[in-house]
Structure 1
Amino acid sequence: MKLKCIIFDVDGTMADTERDGHRVAFNLAFAENGLDWHWDENLYGQLLKVTGGKERMKFYQQSFLNQNILSSTEIKQMHACKTKHYIRLLETGKIPLRTGVKDLIAQAQEQKIRLAISTTTTPINVTTLLKNTLGSESETIFDVIAAGDVVANKKPAPDIYYYALIKLGLKPQHCIAIEDSHAGLVSATAAGIKTIVTTNKYTEKQDFSAAEKIYPDFEQINTQSLNQLIGENHV
């Protein structure tokens, strides 16, 4: 069987966006709106158990503050403010792709293996990251960018991967997903996609027993090793 598509998660997988990107942007949004919340690195690591920024704020209120300070409408407004700050951080070029990501993308393109993205982050976050790391035409590299609220249920639900597979017109056994978190792994495998994991500081101790392989980075990941997981040693 031949590998036909590599499906990337974004935050924590393609780039270390969480600690120095999303977390910082959340704190800037809180301060701008006069809210005395501050998410330090350790707290943010706990909050990452919940996927989606709006969902994360709701979880923080309910589980850490035991009260709903922000309404659903205010959470949406706060998230929009956070996205504004996050985009500014991306545009400074301070959040690069993880080492090895560009090489894997180049290998896939050379071998006519399709590329896609499956993420809970908003579309503008994805496209801005791609533009500032892969160039102005980077969106055309990916056949499908499944992002944000295009599905009702976010990871660990498999909905975003089902959506990507439908748009790609591919069966799950022809794809490999690359994730960094337990929630992402559960999402991809529930959709029937073999999944490898690249860990980071926030996720390295999570349960990845369902992963095909676990790596600390992208240096050992290439199209040959991915094809072997699919079932064909295809260089």
Structure 2
Amino acid sequence: MGHPDGGDHAVGAPRPGPVLVRAAARDFGSHRGSGEVVSGGGQAERVPGAGLHGVLWDMDGTSTDSAPVWEAAMLTAADELGVEWTGADQAVTRGHGMWAVAARFREKGAALTEAAVVSQIERAAAELAVTAPPVWLPGVREMLIDCADAGIRCGLVTMSGREAVEAILRALDPGLFEVIVSGSDVTEPKPAPQPYLRGLDALGLSAESCLAIEDSFVGVTSAVAAGLTTIAVNAPPTIVESESLVRWPGMRGRSVADLRRVHAIAAARTGAESPGVRKSLEF
């Protein structure tokens, strides 16, 4: 879900920082050890080839239960800043980046700059991640481990800010994501495609060789716009299936074979696989 926001673009967003590229807990060839920052920011050469090579995951509500951390952090910041923050505000900002959340805080009377509002919310979220750490949603950690064992590289693409993302992942297992793209790394947040395009660049993979996993309309829009076949999990009924989108109730009980099947069917539809493969996937 990447946490809240109320518009299509970041407002007063900072210059993007480096994408954190981390070696996962298992061997990824040239990468150097679990959780180590090995590079950042630049565009990698994209790797062609048939088959599933990578999966880009959203965080809040997709892979972790960290959405309540953000909701509590915003309520904490609102109380400190004298802003009335309601369930309606949470709903309208769900799935976007923190800069639009900050803009809404300002609209509702916050006297601080948007940058200061973002910092205050991020700080509260980082503290809450320590005192009330989130957990993986059912089946996610197992899938991440299975992907690593199968040589499928995984990255995190979230509109949560870097400081809080790092705190949340420290409470879980940061080594399971090779790449982390946070809201601090983009100037055009979800639903724009930039976050997922940065994730693909950091992995050095093409959209055709990857899947995205999301839970919100804003996130799905971003991933599909980046050219990614997307699996929507824990998603509202307003998100409907299409040639670029598959719905799953969640990750519990799912396997790498399921991911590969979704990817193969999408490739067959676009003609990326041979006619024989396409025929075998018709059911």
In the alignment, what sits opposite 1:182?
217
In the alignment, what sits opposite 2:183?
148
In the alignment, what sits opposite 2:85?
38
Of 207, 214, 220 in structure 1, the residue corresponding to residue 247 of structure 2 is: 214
In the alignment, what sits opposite 1:204?
236
Of 173, 190, 205 in structure 1, the residue corresponding to residue 208 of structure 2 is: 173
C-alpha change, 1:79 and 1:99, in structure 2 (3 Å) is: same
Relative to total residues, which structure has the larger helix share, 1 or 2? 1
In the TM superposition, 1:76-225 aligns within 5 A as 76-134=115-173, 138=174, 140-199=175-234, 203-210=235-242, 212-225=245-258
Aligned to 1:166, what secondary structure does the other structure show?
helix
- Distance (Å, rounded) in 2 between the aligned partners of 1:36 and 1:192: 39
C-alpha change, 1:45 and 1:221, in structure 2 (3 Å) is: farther
Shift of 1:10: 0.8
Aligned to 1:3, what secondary structure does the other structure show?
coil
- Distance (Å, rounded) in 1 between the aligned partners of 2:228 and 2:69: 28
- Distance (Å, rounded) in 1 between the aligned partners of 2:253 and 2:177: 22
Shift of 1:77: 1.0
C-alpha change, 1:59 and 1:36, in structure 2 (3 Å) is: closer
In the alignment, what sits opposite 2:66?
17
- Distance (Å, rounded) in 2 between the aligned partners of 1:101 and 1:204: 19
Please say if residues 51 and 263 of structure 2, whose CA atoms lie closer than 8 Å, have aligned partners that are also in contact. yes
Shift of 1:144: 1.4
- Distance (Å, rounded) in 1 between the aligned partners of 2:64 and 2:225: 24
| TM-score, normalised with respect to structure 1 | 0.83
What stretches of structure 2 of length at least 5 have no aligned partner? 1-49, 266-276, 278-283
Letter paired with 2:53: K
Please say if residues 165 and 171 of structure 1, whose CA atoms lie closer than 8 Å, have aligned partners that are also in contact. yes
Post-superposition CA distance 1:163-198 (Å, at most 9, x none): 111111111111010001111111111111110011
Query: Rg: which structure is higher?
Result: 2
Please say if residues 83 and 110 of structure 2, whose CA atoms lie closer than 8 Å, have aligned partners that are also in contact. no
- Distance (Å, rounded) in 1 between the aligned partners of 2:217 and 2:124: 27
Shift of 1:155: 0.5
Farther off after superposition, 74-83 or 203-212? 203-212
- Distance (Å, rounded) in 1 between the aligned partners of 2:220 and 2:208: 15
In the alignment, what sits opposite 2:260?
227
Please say if residues 66 and 168 of structure 2, whose CA atoms lie closer than 8 Å, have aligned partners that are also in contact. no
Letter paired with 1:205: P
Aligned to 1:117, what secondary structure does the other structure show?
strand
Please say if residues 156 and 186 of structure 1, whose CA atoms lie closer than 8 Å, have aligned partners that are also in contact. yes
- Distance (Å, rounded) in 1 between the aligned partners of 2:176 and 2:72: 29
Aligned to 2:172, what secondary structure does the other structure show?
helix
Length, aligned pairs only: 216
Letter paired with 2:84: W
| TM-score, normalised with respect to structure 2 | 0.70
Letter paired with 2:127: R
Please say if residues 145 and 176 of structure 2, whose CA atoms lie closer than 8 Å, have aligned partners that are also in contact. no
In the alignment, what sits opposite 2:100?
55
- Distance (Å, rounded) in 2 between the aligned partners of 1:215 and 1:60: 34
Shift of 1:80: 0.9
Aligned to 2:219, what secondary structure does the other structure show?
helix
- RMSD across aligned C-alpha pairs, in angstroms? 2.1
- Distance (Å, rounded) in 2 between the aligned partners of 1:36 and 1:218: 37
State the percentage of identical aligned residues.
23
